[in-house]
Amino acid sequence: MNADPAGSIRKRILVLLLIAGLALQVGVVLLVQTPGYMDAEYYFAGGQQLYRGDGFWEPFLWNYLDDPAGLPHISHTYWMPLPSLIAAGGMFLQGNDGFNAARSLFIPLAALVPLVTALIAWRLGLNTRQGTLAGVLALFSGFYLPYAALPESFSLYMLLGGGFFLTAFPVSGSLAQQPVRAAALGLIAGLMHLSRADGLLWGLGAAAVIILDALASQPAGRWKKVLAGVLLAGAGYALVMGAWYGRNLSFYGQVMPPGGSKTIYLTDYNQTFVYPADSLTLETWLQTSWREHLSDRLQALQSNLMTLLGVQSLVVLLPLMSLGGWRLRKQRMVWVGLLAWLATVLVMTLVFPYSGARGGFFHSGSALQPLLWALAPAGLEELIALGARKRGWKPGQAGTVFGIGLAVLCALISGMLFSARVWGASGEDWNLTWRVHQQVGRQLAAYGAQETDIVMVNNPPGFHAATGYPAVVIPDGNEDTLAEVADRYDVQYLVLDRNAVSGLKDLYENPRDVPGFHYLGTFAESHYFLSTGWGGNE
């Protein structure tokens, strides 16, 4: 006789969620054939470099923040390396450096997210049915669905964020009394930082959780417990990040690459691509009026709150998540999660408003998604309890009906969002940029470009991944800036498309020879130029 029927049922539910997750992600992979945007293209290209034995070096520059000397350039100085390492692992397992190989390990990672979500719901004390619903909500993940199995940080961050909460809040006892858990928490925080730069916040969060836990549960000898727990977490974190910090020290003489910190002084998103980057300083930042700074941060806050509404909760889940959070407000996991969410919002609004509003919060907030999905069934239960009191609903029957209805609704919303993102109005939206890169590569070859020629384009990682050409990014500036960059980095060709920065709009609208460049021609709304050197046209 089974002594724990609920536990046996939950194990079967986890297996079913895993099978459903794998099936769904394989279906997504069959429909999403290319990386689709620069972040995924960057990690894919980084994985290719590792697979080919070129290490942490990249044959492209997508910004000039660390004043790069030339190509090849040290890789992952802005984005962190774990997604590329996993992509490379898939390539080694598959024996090739193709895109499907790069994402082969991300498929099971994405499929595990619903399991972690269900486990969090049960750790919060929800019943088997509610935990199952939480897992199904994670399965049909809305805006995240097309991204989950890409060589990117989304699934990684969801799994690690969920693992953080499961590790930080054990079933019984305190974290301070379980040193292995403290070390594991630091290890998870280190992996989060190796996935994304803002993962450093979770390293600080691990220390904070250990301190608060020890203070709450260890009246005797608490400070020894605090010190021991923090040291163990620090050891776990250092086990992951120590080698990476050592690499940065060897190249830059500091634990953090110098370029990332300069983004604090941006006053416009396009300044991410400014050349030279030494123009990004506190002095130049202070020259912008406080009204502009305030306006930009209010716009970032609005964008991030819209991400909460539309992305993190699909609109329909926000009231339920809020009710669930209120119902479970006495649980430390909930209010720690709320503090982590607030910290993320503040950093992506006040410190990095431009990157935060353009996808940074979409990425960094994914670490909290398993907890948010787990709160929704608790909120639904609270709503049903209200209906039982006011309308005489039968809680069991209402829970089943509304739970199934909510799951179906989220599945339909996810399907519509997936269709709009992947196919778009033209029917081929997701793969369009990849095909354009390849088209540009063929046109350059027709103009006589060699495979080693350096090309200046808007999206160097994607262009390189699609064509193999080394590339540098078009700087935020004017024609003189173009020529200066071309001269320093030995650029042979320039491809200017309709996304030209403001200083190059006139050149795009009126293509012609300019100092340093000879106009070759126009093909498919892109203008092609041959670099002739800073001294003028040949």
Q: What is the DSSP string of 292-338?
A: HHHHHHHHHHHHHHHHIIIIISTTTTHHHHHHHHHHTTTSHHHHHHH
What is the rounded CA–CA span in Å between residue 12 and residue 135? 13
Tens digits of per-residue pLDDT, 409-463? Answer: 999 999 999 999 998 754 457 888 899 999 999 999 999 999 999 999 999 999 9
CB-count burial class (<10 Å; 0-12, 13-18, 19+) for 220? exposed
pTM for this entry: 0.94
**By residue range, what is the domain housing residue 479?**
432-531
What is the rounded CA–CA span in Å between residue 529 and residue 509? 14
Predicted pLDDT at 3:
58
Q: Per-residue pLDDT tens, the chain, 538 aa: give them.
A: 455 677 899 999 999 999 999 999 999 999 999 999 999 999 999 999 999 999 999 999 999 999 999 999 999 999 999 999 999 999 999 999 999 999 999 999 999 999 999 999 999 999 999 999 999 999 999 999 999 999 999 999 999 999 999 999 988 766 767 889 999 999 999 999 999 999 999 999 999 998 888 777 656 566 777 888 899 999 999 999 999 999 999 999 999 888 888 999 999 999 999 999 988 999 999 999 999 999 999 999 999 999 999 999 999 999 999 999 999 999 999 999 999 999 999 999 999 999 999 999 999 999 999 999 999 999 999 999 988 888 888 888 888 999 999 999 999 999 999 999 998 754 457 888 899 999 999 999 999 999 999 999 999 999 999 999 999 999 999 999 999 999 999 999 999 999 999 999 999 999 999 999 999 999 999 999 999 974 443 4
Domain contains 197: no
The angle at the Cα of 107, spanning 181 to 104, to the nearest 5 degrees, equals 110
Structure tokens at 37: 């945007």
DSSP letter at 276? Answer: S
Domain contains 465: yes
Domain contains 460: yes
Domain contains 27: no
Tens digits of per-residue pLDDT, 460-514? Answer: 999 999 999 999 999 999 999 999 999 999 999 999 999 999 999 999 999 999 9
Predicted pLDDT at 536:
40
**How many domains is the chain built from?**
1
Domain contains 454: yes
Domain contains 278: no
Domain contains 382: no
Bridge partners of 274, per DSSP, are: 476
What is the rounded CA–CA span in Å between residue 124 and residue 337? 12
DSSP letter at 11? Answer: H
Predicted pLDDT at 229:
86
No. of helices (H) and no. of strands (E), the chain: 23, 8
337 vs 329, 331, 365, 426, 448, CA distance in Å?
11, 10, 11, 40, 56
Residue type, 370: P
Predicted pLDDT at 176:
66
Q: What is the DSSP string of 393-426?
A: --HHHHHHHHHHHHHHHHHHHHHHHHHHHHTTTT
Domain contains 498: yes
Predicted pLDDT at 214:
77
Phi, psi for 455 (deg, rounded to 5): -115, 135
Predicted pLDDT at 537:
38
Predicted pLDDT at 328:
96
Q: What is the CA radius of gyration of the chain?
A: 25
What is the rounded CA–CA span in Å between residue 29 and residue 263? 34
